[in-house]
Amino acid sequence: MLIHIPGVLTPEELAFCRKTLSEADWSDGKVTAGQQSAKAKQNLQVPLDHPAHRALGDLVLRALGRNMLFNSAVAPLRVVPPLFNRYDVGMRFDTHVDNAIRPIPNSGGMRIRTDVSSTLFLTEPSEYDGGELMMHDASGTQEIKLPAGDMIVYDTTLLHSVAPITKGSRWASFFWTQSMVRDSARRQILFDLDQNIIDLRQRLADNDPAVLNLVNVYHNLMRQWCEL
């Protein structure tokens, strides 16, 4: 799964995020990396105890809650509160894999399985050179650099990296989701089916037998595959 979700944030939300981050204090990003990833990571993050972190995290979570494409693609059960990072000139994140299990801060010890990773871009591609999010798999490497307010979601199993910044500064929010559907192939089937149902409903009435039968199949698969 590798899905581009446009316009996750409204222009007003994006402007608020950028203004808040421009006034925030930043710390070494290694604090949220695993032992191996920390050796590959060179960036800055907003500290978890910074007042801006909670406000911006809640804003992103609200945006996710109303985004139909994210909910269709990911089938979220739990989301780690969004984090915020910054790459300045010379900073990068070499090839790595995200931890399979992550703690949820301030939750009393709750942890989640990381099924899906998300990067929400907060600066425009024209504001920095380099900084592409690089996806590495058997077919090669794919470079991703999206408009501010857009998001990429991808299976956390993928090796990935962030190319070195050569000009400007790249800001983003990133987080992990535990899906109700553990298996990536099944998530893809459900997503494809849901998107086809949405397309069909634009051409047929909701009570058309073809629509009703496909909706029935979708929910029966959800019953079979979801873990709560």
Q: Tell me the binding residues for 2-oxoglutarate.
A: 170
Report whether 152 contacts 5 (CB < 8 A).
yes
Q: Binding site: residue ranges?
A: 96, 98, 160, 170
Q: Binding site for Fe cation: residue ranges?
A: 96, 98, 160
185-209 burial, b at 16+ Cβ within 10 Å, e below that, comes to ebbeebbebbeebeeeeeeeeeeee
**Beta strands at 151-155 and 140-144: parallel, antiparallel or unpaired:** unpaired
CA distance 134 to 183: 23
24-27 contacts at long range (C-beta below 8 A, 24 or more positions apart): 24/50, 24/52, 24/84, 25/50, 26/86
CA distance 92 to 86: 10
Helix (H, G, I), strand (E, B) or coil at 121: strand
- The number of helices, as runs of H, and strands, as runs of E, in the chain is 6, 17
CA distance 27 to 91: 13
